Amino acid sequence: MEFIKNGKRIDKRLPNELRPIKFEVGALERADGSCYVEHGGNKVMAAVYGPRAVHPRHMQEANRAIIRYRYNMASFSVEERRRPGPDRRSIEISKVSREAIDPVIIKEFYPRSTIDVFVEILQADAGTRSAGINAASVALADAGVPMRGLIASCAVGKVDDTVVLDLVKEEDNFGQADMPVAMDVRTGEISLLQMDGHFTLEEFEEALQLGKEGCTTIAEMQREALVQKYQGEGHE
């Protein structure tokens, strides 16, 4: 498969270009915080409940809140109907996504409580864990959960021996490498880094730098979306 023609990718983007991204803060009324994200062909809803009492109680921690994160792909989110319910992939993504957002949450403020994050993938086109983390991060802020910063995430990869930002499904499935990254761009701390495929050391460094630039752009969009919603309401 030919991925790059005259310097352009299959969806006409440049190698270092993100797909169009849109954040809608507070899209759900019942949740304490929520965010709907469209990231290229991905459509993702994140809902946050809490801080609230932990059930079952034995899971509670005496001096901090616990964070629970459920990533779920709707059965209609992919071309061939996905069997509903958790599978190995969604359990793994839930775990790494929880660990990705965990470092910025000030859990000591809410002992014996839980903060529950639900991420529903309504339409999938590669990079859904990143889109989920971006939505979750904004939904947490919308819920008023105290955070040191926002976590932003995007994938980088390699197709036709070229390092590219933010893969679409064909690039993800049939390319040479796929590496989702999540970070707190204020501190540069990386809280998620996974890799499928192969990079040379130089390509890896180039990819990480490109991922950092992508996350920086996304963090700015997240901040903007929150400011848009809360400006004029007496919030910061």
User: Quick check: 119 and 69 in contact, CB under 8 A?
Assistant: yes
Q: How far is the CB of 192 from ligand ADP (least distance, A)?
A: 10
> Does residue 18 belong to the site contacting ligand ADP (CB under 6 A)?
no
User: Quick check: 208 and 192 in contact, CB under 8 A?
Assistant: no
User: Quick check: 31 and 25 in contact, CB under 8 A?
Assistant: no
87-93's contacts with Cβ under 8 Å and 24+ in sequence apart are 93/128, 93/129, 93/132
**Which region among 2-10, 44-52, 102-110, 127-135 touches ligand ADP (by CB under 6 A)?**
127-135
Backbone angles phi, psi at 175, to 5 degrees: -85, -175
**Which region among 11-19, 47-55, 109-117, 126-134 touches ligand ADP (by CB under 6 A)?**
126-134
> Does residue 119 belong to the site contacting ligand ADP (CB under 6 A)?
no
Q: How far is the CB of 108 from ligand ADP (least distance, A)?
A: 31
Return the sign of the alpha-carbon dihedral for residues 7, 221, 95, 104. positive
> Does residue 15 belong to the site contacting ligand ADP (CB under 6 A)?
no
Torsion angle defined by CA atoms of residues 88, 89, 92 and 98, in that order, rounded to the nearest 10 degrees? -130
For ligand ADP, the binding residues in 168-227 under the rule CB under 6 A are 169, 172, 178, 180
| Tokens read off for 105 | 């949450």
Question: Which is closer to ligand ADP, CB of 34 or CB of 77?
Answer: 77
Q: How far is the CB of 132 from ligand ADP (least distance, A)?
A: 8
With CB under 6 A as the contact rule, the residue among 78, 190, 193, 195 that binds ligand ADP is 78
Residues that bind ligand ADP (CB under 6 A): 78, 80, 82, 89, 124-129, 169, 172, 178, 180
